[in-house]
Amino acid sequence: MSDQIADWAHERSTLDTEPLEVATRILRAAHLIQARLDAVATTHGLSHKGDLDVLTSLRRSGPPYHQTPSWLARGAQLTTGGMTNRLDRLEHAGLVAREPDPDDRRGVFVCLTEEGMRLADTALEDSIAEQRAVLSMLNTNEQAAAARILQRLLIGLGDTADPAAAYRPRTS
């Protein structure tokens, strides 16, 4: 099946080696997929890898295209401090703007600027194309199975921003 597993099974045959496969392959695949998506971001002038994710998150969140830093941080699996850094860069680049939340004076809304919206739209299409290219390596059944299994895995891992929950944490 796999030389890696086989070698290790030979080395420590008393251990059940089968569970090793899935976790390590997820890590490897993530590494390779991330590299492709980073290349897309670079194409659109975003030298900082995670910045595009913020723009596309805002774009996907729908009108009025603004969210709080905390909400964005959860979606990006970052601390709010880390998100502050990203937002500083994006604001400085004129792609997002910070506006006060009228209902909670502690809060801030991060809004897409016109330029940010344009960039999000074009870059997101490229990003989707890239992801489709990755997925084209699997047939339709495999894609569906992978989507379902990964969702179950994410729930089990306690993903706080799991697709099934990510888009309905407190809205303000």
Partner DNA sequence: CTAATATCAGCGCTACTGAGATCT
Partner DNA sequence: CAGATCTCAGTATCGCTGATATTA
Tell me which residues touch a copy of itself (CB under 8 A). 2-5, 7-8, 10-12, 15-34, 37, 59-62, 77, 124-125, 128, 131-132, 134-138, 142-143, 145-147, 149-159, 161-168
What mask of x and - would describe binding to DNA in positions 94 to 123, judged by CB under 7 A?
----x--x--xxxxx---------------
User: How many other C-beta atoms can be found within 10 angstroms of the C-beta atom of residue 56?
Assistant: 19
Burial state string for 136-157 with b = 16 or more CB within 10 A and e = fewer than 16: eeeeeeeeeeeeeeeeeebeee
Measured between alpha carbons, how far is 153 from 166 in angstroms, rounded to an integer? 15
Q: In whole angstroms, how close is the CB of 14 to DNA at the nearest point?
A: 30
Give φ, ψ of 98 to 5 degrees.
-100, 130
If you search the block for the tokens 């998506």, which residue do you land on? 37
Q: Considering the complex, state which of residue 78 and residue 120 has its C-beta at the smaller distance from DNA.
A: 78
Question: Rule CB under 7 A: is residue 168 a binding residue for DNA?
Answer: no
47 binds, among a copy of itself, DNA, none (CB under 5 to 8 A by kind): DNA
